[in-house]
Amino acid sequence: MSNDQRKGAPERGQRRHGGPGMMGPVEKAKDFRGSIKKLLNYIARHIRKVIFVWVLAAVSAVLAVAGPKVLGGATNKLVEGIQATISGTGGVDFGAIGAILLTVAGLYVLSALLMYIQGFIMSGVNMKVSYQLRKDINEKIHRLPISYFDKTTHGEVLSRITNDVDTISQNLGQSVTQLIAAVAMLIGSLVMMLSISVPLTLIALLIMPLSGVFVVAVVKASQKHFVAQQATLGHINGHIEEAYGGHNIVKAFGREKESAETFDLHNKKLYASGWKSQFLSGLMMPITGFIGNLGYVAVCLAGGYFAVNGAMTVGGIQSFIQYVRTFTQPMSQIAQISNVLQQTAAAAERVFAFLGEAEETADAPDALDIPEKSGEGRDVLFENVRFGYDPEKIIINDFSAHIKPGQTVAIVGPTGAGKTTVVKLLMRFYDLSGGSISVGGQDITRYRRNDSRAIFGMVLQDTWLFSGTIGDNIRYGRPDASDVEVQSAAAAAQADHFVRTLPDGYNMQLNEETGNVSQGQKQLLTIARAILADPEILILDEATSSVDTRTEALIQKAMKNLMKGRTSFIIAHRLSTIRNADLILVMRDGDIAEQGRHEELMAKNGVYAELYNSQFAS
């Protein structure tokens, strides 16, 4: 945690959606059509390929639909041959029947080949849509202010970019291709049925509305459970991410049981919504299949009657029965796809809700490029700064200070005084509630955020290293730095010795939690990273809090050389380390209670003297 407790800001891991297991009711997707429309906009970027797939699907359906009617000709040939054999006027023309069967086989093989090509192309489109969604989410994450992540668990955000996009990816490839094929087959089968017998077609169609009624009912019932399933999955991810991230703390305080109970509550909710959604979606095929069979029986009875009366041939009946099967199958597929689309819409709504978050940290259209580094450096001016993590709870009331170029400024005060908050405002991690901060004579809000942050080097009390080599971690601020420069920075931070004692030295791989080096060693590496970046303004927030006294003394010596000619801000609780600062700002309750050099403040015998003497009291 940072030195100053952020009043009104949630702790990392604090859930805004209630206590453990208390998610609240999950409603149906608020904007089903809107979510699908936005998803279609992503697909529309590949419209040429999609149109080509439609053409392939239509041709494939035509070939598949033509098969039963051609096969009916073979049946008629067989019936005519049998009748001729019985009457003694001829026999079965197996050559003609064989030719018809080869034609049917060719139609089906070509139809299957076109379906394969269609699936191959749509798989590529599907992956490109998923790639673009993840890319947009990643870019959105970088545009969102840090305040957004104060009130949103990491697991919730990760769930959008993993589970929700995966759901869209899996369902999109399945549903789009199947929907195109099913619609084409449905239309083709209907046309062929009408060409064979209008009365039988009407009988078959009279049964179909029943499927529609049941499908609509099931879709309405299942939608809320699919939405709940996706939302609960996000909560579970959030809990798991926190539990594993703080695994040692959970163990140390013996909270395994409570953590498991919290997980169990979320898991039960996921189970409840999951089985309901899957059960209801599973009803689609049996219901539509049962109704399709009713139509099949009705057609068989009526067809037999027409055949007896000579109104139809046996081959025509056989073809029509096949078309009824072909007609009901896409109906079942469309019903199933509609269910899949509900799940896709639930995931898409969460993704687009995240992408639509309004509170972005966009630069002004007329934002300025930060000027090149000048010889004398930049001054920093705080004027009547007001700020609160919660707008209703102001924690910095009226902060004003002028730091001249090259000065070393120490910010001290009790926990919760606002020390770390001040430097976070300087870095534009948060926007001010009032007042202004100027760097080099220009308000920082006039600069582009990334450009203005490039002049700062920051070493925090909470160290952050990524999974990779030690050398790459030190290079984070200057990726083009040479091995010699990396080693020189490590030597200045007193890290070179311990790095060389490790297996593989600077090429040693840090694991995911960087648990294969100690906390103090992590601190040294982050300091080396700041030294290598060579920033104009240096910010040290309890940068030596995790090292021993001897190493701290060595780092202080290295830091003294590093801070020459540059403006530096040092936040420290050990006041003995900042005695030589050019200016000491003593903060209390968000304001500057005292300021001056060490000797001046001790002579005042005020807040600073009280803090200083308390650290050396017996």
- For the chain, domain boundaries: 32-355, 380-615
- State the pLDDT at residue 513: 66
Full strand arrangement of the beta sheet holding 591-596: 456-459, 537-541, 567-571, 408-412, 583-588, 591-596
Architecture of domain 380-615: 3-Layer(aba) Sandwich (3.40)
Angle between helices 47-87 and 32-44 (to 10 degrees): 90
Q: Residue 335 burial by CB count (10 A; 0-12/13-18/19+): exposed, middle or buried?
A: buried
How far apart CA 400 and CA 438 sit, in angstroms, is: 11
- State the pLDDT at residue 15: 35
How far apart CA 316 and CA 477 sit, in angstroms, is: 77
- State the pLDDT at residue 303: 78
Sign of CA dihedral 334, 338, 339, 344: positive
| Nearest C-alpha neighbor of 501 from the set 511, 512, 490 | 490
Structural contact between residues 263 and 241, judged by C-beta atoms closer than 8 angstroms: no
Tokens of 15: 């859930």
- State the pLDDT at residue 335: 67
What's the distance, Cα to Cα, between the start and end of the chain in Å?
Answer: 28
- State the pLDDT at residue 274: 82
Say which CATH topology domain 32-355 has. Answer: ABC transporter transmembrane region fold (1.20.1560)
**Which residues of the chain, if any, have pLDDT below 50?**
1-28, 618
82-97 core/surface letters (b: 16 or more CB in 10 A; e: else):
eeeeeeeeeebeeeeb
Q: Are strands 468-469 and 509-510 parallel, antiparallel or unpaired?
A: antiparallel
- State the pLDDT at residue 24: 34
Q: What is the pLDDT of residues 359-378, one digit of tens each?
A: 777 676 777 777 776 666 67
Is residue 566 within a helix (H) or strand (E), and if so which, with residue range?
none
What count of other Cβ atoms lies within 10 Å of the Cβ of residue 617? Answer: 5
- State the pLDDT at residue 514: 65
Sign of CA dihedral 207, 211, 216, 217: positive
